[in-house]
Structure 1
Amino acid sequence: MDDQQKNAGQGTTHFGFREVPETEKAGLVGQVFSNVAGKYDLMNDLMSLGIHRLWKRFTIDQTRARPGQHVLDVAGGTGDLGAALARRVGPQGRVVISDINPAMLEVGRNRLADKGIVGNVEFVEADAEHLPFADQEFDIVTLAFGIRNMTHPEQALREIQRVLKPGGRALILEFSHPTWPGLGPVYDAYSFHLLPHLGQLVAGDRESYQYLVESIRRWADQETLKQMMERAGFELVEYFNLSGGIVALHKGIKL
């Protein structure tokens, strides 16, 4: 059986600027994040000049997390949001950090243990498109810089909606499309010329960072993601452009 026959009737999707069979994307993305896990946080600081910390802080503030609440951080990787949320919900609350990639989870588990954040945090290896949690289990679900890497992002949004309690909030932080006049060309030049080179210099991995840049360019704009969330069942969806639209935070409610 040749490759064309094997792929007959099988959908394709994008992996950066490449088109690949849907069944291959998760494995390809998994390899990228296994490659970059050890340098992920350092590279985030270098690539964003530290501004990613402000984006995440804004996201945490918008969760309005309170003591005792149950929170799920999907694609939580190295635990940036999870650590902050654990402090907000306190010892009577619960934070679950899920990620499909075990290497990223291991980095997060070690980081939070080093900070003494252990009692109210769980780490779960899970596919965001098939979350292993009960209906209406969480008060808040966050997802930062992960949805663009998913094969079926709308399925992940439906799963997030499913596991939220009525009145619960979903917050999706993701790279988006610049809105400031003249910012787009500058951002493209920075992304395509400097970031892969930085990935090679610091992490020894140009290809993974080339993919990450390309995945940002292929991702939906602000209005498209808003519509995706509405189709997944969220109400009162709004978004906040950060750093001129380079990043956007989308927020939706399950009524």
Structure 2
Amino acid sequence: MPPAAASSLTPAAREAGQNRQIRVEKLGLTDYEAAWAYQEQLLAAAVAVKTRNRQAAEAGRLPESTPNVLLLCQHPHVYTLGKSGKPEHLLLDDAGLAAHGATYHRINRGGDITYHGPGQLVGYPILDLDNFFTDIHRYLRVLEEAVILTLADYGLSAGRIPGLTGVWLGFEEAATNPRKICAMGVKCSRWVTMHGLAFNINPDLSYFGHIVPCGITDKAVTSLQQELGRAVPLPEVEEKLLRHLATLLDATLIG
């Protein structure tokens, strides 16, 4: 588990405008492009505060606190390709997308192609890492750890596979059936994050058969429902995930 984020901040730093509150917004089933535009809006607002703070520091004024927001939602069927991804990892043409009621977007996060759809819990943290710790790799590990701890609440042993972002079942070196349960991809601008995680709770896993998930050809995809043999209420998973994120980030959740 990553060390507590609070250890990287001195008391003086805490007094210099750091904001450890995260506003949680539950958007329900939301169009992907609408959620993306909202993330961009929130990121721009946080960066604008940081610009004003730089000007305030030059003038000897105290800084404003930058906002932190966590969006939780589901999406209608959609495939998204990160900036380092390969278009050929989408195995459907336009007609195939239409037949499956799905859309496709190339976006500005890291990573390759992934799927979002109903029954999948998507989390978009728009956080100013200056409020927590300025280490994007550590941030990714914190997101992974929150999912790992959530799965442990259901009696499932999950972990990481070296060189691969995300959370896996059958992650151990000798395991014969590694399968991904949570994909991740983020963007960071002026230490403000966007995009995030896609946690498979009760999705239709057949939609993953139309892509090479995250560009990985030799590993499977799974869900909490498939692993437990029963559907799991998303609000129940949300509550557990939020609790672990708050602890790992030493944050207070509001809203």
TM-score (norm 2): 0.27
Give the strand-richer structure, 1 or 2: 2
Which is bigger in relative contact order (C-alpha 8 A, separation at least 6)? 2
Give the helix-richer structure, 1 or 2: 1
